[in-house]
Structure 1
Amino acid sequence: MNQNIDLVGLGIQKGLIKFDEDKKSITYIHQNKKKNYTNPEEKVQALTFLKLVLHYGYKPQRIRQFVSVKMGSDTKEADIVVYNDDECEEPHILVECKKEEVSEQEFLQAIDQAYSYAYALPNDVKYVWVTSGLRNEYFSVDKNKVSRIDEPDIPQVGVNKLENYKFVYDAEGLKQEVGKQKFSDLKVVLEEILTKQFEKAHDALWAGGQLNPSEAFDELDKLIFCKIWDERKYRRTGEPYDFQIITVDKEEIKGYIRLSADQLKEAIRLEENKRLAERVKSLYEEGRKKDPEVFRDGIRLTDERIRTVVGYFQEINLGATDLDSKGRAFEAFMEEYFRGKNGQFFTPRPIVDFVTKVLPIKNESLVLDTSCGSGGFLLYALNKVRKQADERYPDYRTNYEKALRHKSYWHDFAENNLYGIEINEQISRAAKMNMIIHDDGHTNVITADGLLNESEIQKLTKNRGFRYNRFNFIITNPPFGSTIKSKEKNYLKEYNFGQKDPDWLDVKAKSTPTPRENQSTEILFIEQCYKFLEEGGYLAIVLPDGILTNSSLQYVRDGIEDMFRIVAVVSMPQTAFTATGAGVKSSVLFLKKHKVAHTEKLKNKKMSLQAKLKKKFDYDVTLEIWDIEKKQILRDLEGFDNPFIDLSTTELKKTDEYKEWRAEVNAEYTERINNLKEELQEAYLKVKQEELPDYPIFMAIAEDIGYDATGKKTNNNELDYISEELTKFITAIDNGAI
């Protein structure tokens, strides 16, 4: 459970605090002081007070809050002072509390403020603690020598000497000795807190102007990678973690006796930062040896900035934090940063959940996302298999052998069966980190143009898994609205949708396809997914509704009909993507790949039907007769009541009257031809329905999928009901019932 929630509950239970019924006010019982709990800073102060009592062991009677401090002619107020005596005359620790949303600059100012209070108090304060709840800095104070020395923690009650680190593996397994420092293990945090940690660490990296937001995101990714790698390293009980601030003694600094107080303070800080950076970079290189594709360049942060990020994450146990919570926290932070960047609009999670829920994905399935973005579809596929492992081995938490089988069931799937392609290198890297945070699955996420052919993709990545006709499931939301031009991408000619097939009703058309100058990415991705799927494999793809409705895109719908059995069309509300920055009306198509022989049979059957209809309607002969008639009319003006009949032919063709008359004749015959074509098209649609294989298609319209246009929850997700019915429908297809 979350420690902050535990602290508040325990504080109430032990009579340290109480709340009004509406929880807008908090009362500190030992001082009988009521404060406004809606104030963000007050919440941090309340938690800090409870930690001092319940974790560090100080008596509430020796803790004073809102202590007046005389600063020249002004009177300020220190948030918390801990005393050594019951009379509260010997200050021991001074605490300055700031709200969670405090900026890096404001936090540094708070440190200076805390020190000014410490020096202004009449008796010596030994320690200063500055906290925002999300970040903590600790210092020892010696007014006669060094003004400020970093510490890993403040001491528990009765402890006179601190070790130079705070966080150790399996702290609960250590035998605690009276008067000795009590170490801490890493803690689990709530999703909301973790999201804020990501945001604050990122802001601290770029807000100073030395890094732009994009660079800051990359560097933060690297350090999170180091943090996870550190947690996974083997350690004995009581062994300290590397990803934490470890202080140094002044004796470790060469020539410290000759340094002034400020020089010594700076030398100590630099040495601490240097050693921390060395430990972090060592973790990074260890991880890169195993996964060279995750990050291709080194850590570019200064030692001081590495320390800043470590300060935000050193006490968090990312590995033990609830999988869904840490995943959503990272995705919320990541998508807030990437929203709309480079045309990136990530698929809303209710849609991702719906798609993966209805498909019969199992741990032996091969799953691909050809434009994976942040990895949402892959992660939900992984979560689906993980839940299957839970059902298969329900007692895995208490049975070691079952635990091994449980992990092997889903982890092998994550490592060997999940594949993703993302063209944007930064987003691809973020997707890999997203998978790592979710306990793996990043191995086969690559950076490449998802429309390249299989051999080109394999050349780029040396990953032989990206082969055509291999995957059981493809789940994807391809980029909308982009256009691939033949002048820029040679691979356009490799696609059938990159060619114009001759119109069966165009008698002048060439008998072979002609190259298109450009094509929409989403249309090409339909065909690319077809190539990657095995026969009988499923494709679930988010597409703009224009592909389903625009008359000019009938050839795309015909192509889909040839390549796939259309399983389902589920229409999403107009607002489905509004909250993520896109406003295109879209639907999810579920398709099942035909056998190649079946596709060829369909194509041949269609060509045969078209030929029969043209013969039945005497189409070619009729068009030829009409063409002769029209030419004859245009050549021979006699027999018509024309006011310009006496003019010579040359002069006649220059007149507006002639041009108008000629246009009318052309329009008349064009209308005849179009009417005939419409008649044949209608006849073709009818005969297709009669003679081509018929099957049911699942159709659904979702008007509310759990959130509105602003992203606010509506508590009504129609996809839940639709998914139940569609799951039954797909099961019936696989069983041969429909």
Structure 2
Amino acid sequence: MTFTALPPAPVLIQQGKLLDFIDGKTQRQETPEEYVRQEILKSLVREYHYPKAHVAVEFPVPIGSKKTRADILIFAPNKPHAVENAFLVVECKSDKVKSTDRKEGVEQLKSYLTACPNAVYGMWTNGVERFCYRRMVEGGKVDFDEVPDVPIFGQKEDDAERPRFDQLKAATSDALMFAFKRCHNYIAANQGLQKPEAFWELLKLIFCKIQDERSDAIDFYTTATERKSLNGQLVVKGRLDKLFNAVRADFPAIFQPKDGIDLLPPVLTYLVSQLQGYSLLQSDVDVKGHAYEEIVGSNLRGDRGEFFTPRNLCDMAVAMLDPAEGQLMLDPACGTGGFLIAGMNHVIEKIRKAELKKWHNNETQAEIHARDRIKKYAAACIVGLDFNPNLVKATKMNMVMNNDGAGGLYQANSLLNPLRWADDLRARGLPGGVDVVFSNPPFGSKLPIDDHTVLEQYDLGHTWQYDKADDRWARTANLQKSQPPEILFIERIVRLLKPGTGRAAIVLPDGILGAPGLGYVREWLLTHCRLLASVDMHPDTFQPNVSVQTSLLLVQRKTDTEIALEAASGQRADYPVFMAVANHIGHDKRGNRTYVRDERGNEVMEPVTELVRVADAEGRVQYVPQTSLKKVLDDNTRQIAQAFRQWLADHS
């Protein structure tokens, strides 16, 4: 008799609770402070490589005659959990608590450090602010020296001051987002810049950090001693100016010859101290994407109908169309590059899997050969256009952090006649040559296109008449007075596709798919395309930024022969269309994440295995699988993509 193993029963967690990352059992109250603490715990284990066995949460520490509980204590290796064995003390607060607060600010951390006789390091953070200290004892007196960061597990003090390449932390948690926000706010508060201006200065620093990671020696660092003196700060500025000169030479389309790092030496030195321990190139794609988009979104949202596409919608569209290596991928309204990055990483994952198989799971050889293929693919097959030059610049940065492909991004008006595009963009031969398009074009009657030289290019820029007898729309010779941009983008996207094989995933307002007066748009679309799928998106998809009801439409361009045959026969070919409703999108109208619940309202958790960088007893870093419990996001976009691929296989 054969027995089939049953899947493990789901773990349930009470509403308003979250599971402690260290023991995986304790249910803690889901508060802003607890969110910060759990993210810092993930960072200490996954990025700083402290073993969970060395970590205690809410450990009692005697302060005078009473005992209070420190948020996080990390103990010395091979020592029992006792106050006298504490090596690192971490205190976490919500972002409402300031570091200067007399009761809960950094002074609270210092009191814990004083009470732990052998503690060496401490960290205080509210997610936005972060301060690290080294406890010094001289002549029986305790003092605190502010340092750039606490050490990685097994790291020597000198290395903590100037990290080695193999000691840089690959971000796996929201700690990187905290660092970006912290730097952005610090520039705004201490440099006298508005937040959008502060963003561009932070952008320069991120470029310098990546440039440094691609060089032979680390120059993106500062020591505690350098931070304390003007001379030391000037030394740091000299190193960063040299790095930025190299950045400017490598990215002339982003930075002008006159551009420099316009930050005061003490401000610059602080920012370097907050970023120097991370490896942006090695960090998880989703983690750094989320961190970067948080900063971009708060600074670059324009007044041209720009609302950035949620990553789960991007991932769903990419999984549905399944782009391949060698296929030209385009977004004619790329914004911050969400679709392009999702599509590029989808193909890169295919390349890495293929090389791993070819080299019989020899990861070193596979990565060497994959790197060359990825570089060629990203340079040749990724193209993005956007009218907003600032968004293009920000997208180039995003692409550089995510395997590159920045060379295919252009500032251009996609709706203009392609003959009016810049020479290097025209040389791409886009009209009729694109394999896959992903796009969320700008919407709205508040953004009318009324330039007749633009409208006259398009069938949909003309007026149409409806014939009730034939139930057909016919184009006239007259131009519309104006058109919303999304209608013209439909035709532009279809004209860009390769006839017969080119496919597109387009986010469109539902009015286009159902409003009686827009029947001519649907007529044109069905004449020129085969409809593959229509996914009705949840009303909260773009919340909390904007309320708009949308659908994701997947189409494939017909050939001129197919169009002519259908016209001659007087009827269109009949075929099946995939339909779905994305009624669970993982967040509510306020942007808060939503999770799967059981019939009693408990949130369901499931085991998730990830490859995580950890250190052994000697401090050597390696990748090992780790399983942890995570709440199940109430999001069915991935299932929709899987169902579509199966449907497509069944109907091919």
TM-score when normalising by structure 1:
0.65
Distance 1:412 1:393 in 2: 15
Distance 1:18 1:605, change over 3 A: closer
Q: Give the match for residue 230 of structure 1.
A: 212
Matches within 5 A, 1:103-502: 103=129, 128-130=144-146, 136=149, 166-170=162-166, 185-208=167-190, 210-235=192-217, 241-246=218-223, 269-296=229-256, 297-338=259-300, 343-394=305-356, 398-459=362-423, 464-465=427-428, 467-482=430-445, 485=448, 488=451, 490-501=453-464
| Cα displacement string for residues 665-690 of structure 1 (whole angstroms, at most 9, x for unaligned residues) | xxxxxxxxxxxxxxxxxxxxxxxxxx
Shift of residue 130 of structure 1?
A: 3.0
| Cα displacement string for residues 418-462 of structure 1 (whole angstroms, at most 9, x for unaligned residues) | 111122222222211111111212221122222122222234x65
Q: Secondary structure of the residue that 2:111 maps to in structure 1?
A: strand
Instruction: Give the counterpart letter for 1:79 in structure 2.
Output: S
Matches within 5 A, 1:689-728: 691-711=571-591, 712-714=593-595, 715-728=633-646
| Cα displacement string for residues 292-328 of structure 1 (whole angstroms, at most 9, x for unaligned residues) | 2233443332333222211210111222222332223
C-alpha contact 1:53 1:60 (8 A) present in aligned 2: no
C-alpha contact 2:191 2:263 (8 A) present in aligned 1: no
Q: Give the match for residue 513 of structure 2.
A: 548
Q: Give the match for residue 650 of structure 1.
A: none
TM-score when normalising by structure 2:
0.73
The answer for unaligned runs of 5 or more in structure 2 is 1-40, 91-106, 596-632
Distance 1:709 1:200 in 2: 26
Matches within 5 A, 1:30-41: 34-37=67-70
Q: Give the match for residue 532 of structure 1.
A: 496
Distance 1:80 1:717, change over 3 A: closer
Q: Give the match for residue 126 of structure 2.
A: 100
Distance 1:320 1:9 in 2: 15
Distance 1:281 1:196 in 2: 25
Distance 1:528 1:600 in 2: 20
Distance 1:372 1:486, change over 3 A: closer
Distance 1:100 1:533 in 2: 49
Shift of residue 413 of structure 1?
A: 1.9
Distance 2:414 2:293 in 1: 22
| Cα displacement string for residues 115-149 of structure 1 (whole angstroms, at most 9, x for unaligned residues) | xx999x97566x63336xxx549xxxxxxxxxxxx
C-alpha contact 2:452 2:479 (8 A) present in aligned 1: no
Distance 1:699 1:209, change over 3 A: same
C-alpha contact 2:464 2:476 (8 A) present in aligned 1: yes
Q: Secondary structure of the residue that 2:326 maps to in structure 1?
A: coil
Distance 1:234 1:223, change over 3 A: same
Match of 2:534 among 554, 558, 569: 569
| Cα displacement string for residues 512-559 of structure 1 (whole angstroms, at most 9, x for unaligned residues) | 511111001110100110121111200110101100111110110111
| Cα displacement string for residues 82-125 of structure 1 (whole angstroms, at most 9, x for unaligned residues) | 89xx9x7xx9x986753234659xx6xx99xx9xx999x97566
Instruction: Give the counterpart letter for 2:162 in structure 1.
Output: K
| Cα displacement string for residues 701-720 of structure 1 (whole angstroms, at most 9, x for unaligned residues) | 23223333333223333333
Distance 1:102 1:726 in 2: 41
Q: Secondary structure of the residue that 1:471 maps to in structure 2?
A: coil
Shift of residue 8 of structure 1?
A: 10
Q: Give the match for residue 26 of structure 1.
A: 59
RMSD over equivalenced CA pairs, Å: 4.2
Distance 1:485 1:95, change over 3 A: closer
Give the count of matched residue pairs.
546
C-alpha contact 2:534 2:579 (8 A) present in aligned 1: yes
Match of 1:514 among 478, 484, 492: 478
C-alpha contact 2:136 2:145 (8 A) present in aligned 1: no
Instruction: Give the counterpart letter for 1:713 in structure 2.
Output: T
C-alpha contact 1:248 1:271 (8 A) present in aligned 2: no
C-alpha contact 2:320 2:645 (8 A) present in aligned 1: yes
Distance 2:371 2:304 in 1: 37
Distance 1:198 1:216 in 2: 11
Distance 1:357 1:511, change over 3 A: closer
Matches within 5 A, 1:545-694: 545-579=510-544, 581-603=545-567, 691-694=571-574
Distance 1:299 1:601, change over 3 A: farther
The structure that has the greater radius of gyration is 1
Instruction: Give the counterpart letter for 1:245 in structure 2.
Output: T
The answer for unaligned runs of 5 or more in structure 1 is 20-24, 67-75, 138-151, 171-184, 236-240, 250-264, 607-690
Instruction: Give the counterpart letter for 1:304 in structure 2.
Output: P
| Cα displacement string for residues 474-512 of structure 1 (whole angstroms, at most 9, x for unaligned residues) | 011111115555655732222221111455579xx9995
Instruction: Give the counterpart letter for 2:183 in structure 1.
Output: A
C-alpha contact 1:244 1:311 (8 A) present in aligned 2: yes
Distance 2:389 2:477 in 1: 35
* Bigger fraction of residues in strand: 2
Distance 2:168 2:225 in 1: 22
C-alpha contact 2:463 2:475 (8 A) present in aligned 1: no
Distance 2:316 2:127 in 1: 34
C-alpha contact 1:164 1:247 (8 A) present in aligned 2: no
Distance 1:9 1:731, change over 3 A: closer
Distance 1:54 1:220 in 2: 41
Instruction: Give the counterpart letter for 1:719 in structure 2.
Output: T
Distance 2:373 2:553 in 1: 29
Shift of residue 221 of structure 1?
A: 1.0
Distance 2:505 2:373 in 1: 24
Distance 1:329 1:504 in 2: 53
C-alpha contact 1:3 1:187 (8 A) present in aligned 2: no
Shift of residue 186 of structure 1?
A: 1.8
Matches within 5 A, 1:76-87: 78-79=110-111
Matches within 5 A, 1:32-51: 34-37=67-70, 42-43=71-72, 46=73, 50=75
Q: Secondary structure of the residue that 1:35 maps to in structure 2?
A: strand
Shift of residue 28 of structure 1?
A: 5.3
Q: Secondary structure of the residue that 2:435 maps to in structure 1?
A: strand
Distance 1:548 1:285 in 2: 51
C-alpha contact 1:484 1:521 (8 A) present in aligned 2: yes
Deviates more, 1:443-452 or 1:2-11: 2-11
Distance 2:538 2:214 in 1: 43
* Bigger fraction of residues in helix: 1
Q: Percent identity?
A: 26
C-alpha contact 1:164 1:248 (8 A) present in aligned 2: no
Distance 1:485 1:379, change over 3 A: closer
Distance 2:425 2:637 in 1: 39
C-alpha contact 1:246 1:276 (8 A) present in aligned 2: no
C-alpha contact 2:113 2:122 (8 A) present in aligned 1: no
